[in-house]
């Protein structure tokens, strides 16, 4: 529908598609494998992520997504070839970091909604916050607090 087209247009304005590629595409599937042991630092804390811009959080999300997919690929490869998978700790840190990015973006979304409620209360001379929430709660709440939906959700916008 028209709403889906507008949503996709808004996403394209925020993040031009040409900026999504951060590495050369020549390596192909090799990008999803790593060789040797890699020291992984700690996961990204919410305290640190709260200091980041939305743009930085979006970029970090894709870096973490690529890392997670690389680890899943390595895990599958090890399972198939009956090898030990040494990336479980890294997998935990990546998943925890992705959860923290989602939570920080959800916090920012909630703060923005609270500001909208304050504006609506003032604009419509409302006495109770619940009256203002009724004005904006007609919209279906997003299932994912981060700006990038799941693959099935994204397919709705592409079709």
pLDDT in tens, 18-33: 444 445 555 666 665 6
Residue 15 has pLDDT above 70, yes or no: no
Query: For residue 122, is pLDDT > 70?
Result: yes
Stretch 52-71: mean pLDDT:
91
Q: Report DSSP letters for the chain, one per residue.
A: -HHHHHHHHHHHHHS-GGGG--S-GGGGGGGG---S-----PPPPHHHHTTS-HHHHHHHHHHHHHHHHHHHHHHHHHHHTT-----HHHHHHHHHHHHHHHHHHHHHHHHHHHHHHHHHHHHHT-SSHHHHHHHHTTSPPPS-SSSS--HHHHHHHH-
Look at residue 115 and tell me whether its pLDDT is greater than 60.
Answer: yes
């Amino acid at each position: 529908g028209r709403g889906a087209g507008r949503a996709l247009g808004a996403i394209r304005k925020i993040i031009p598609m040409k900026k999504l590629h951060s590495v050369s595409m020549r390596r192909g599937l090799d990008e999803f494998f790593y060789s040797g042991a890699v020291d992984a630092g700690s996961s990204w804390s919410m305290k640190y992520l709260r200091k980041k811009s939305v743009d930085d959080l979006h970029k970090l999300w894709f870096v973490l997504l690529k890392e997670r997919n690389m680890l899943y690929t390595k895990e599958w490869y090890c399972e198939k070839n009956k090898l030990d998978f040494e990336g479980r700790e890294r997998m935990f840190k990546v998943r925890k970091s992705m959860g923290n990015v989602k939570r920080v973006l959800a916090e920012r979304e909630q703060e923005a909604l609270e500001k909208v409620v304050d504006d609506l209360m003032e604009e419509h001379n409302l006495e109770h916050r619940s009256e203002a929430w009724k004005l904006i709660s007609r919209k279906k709440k997003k299932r994912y607090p981060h700006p990038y939906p799941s693959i099935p959700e994204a397919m709705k916008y592409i079709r």
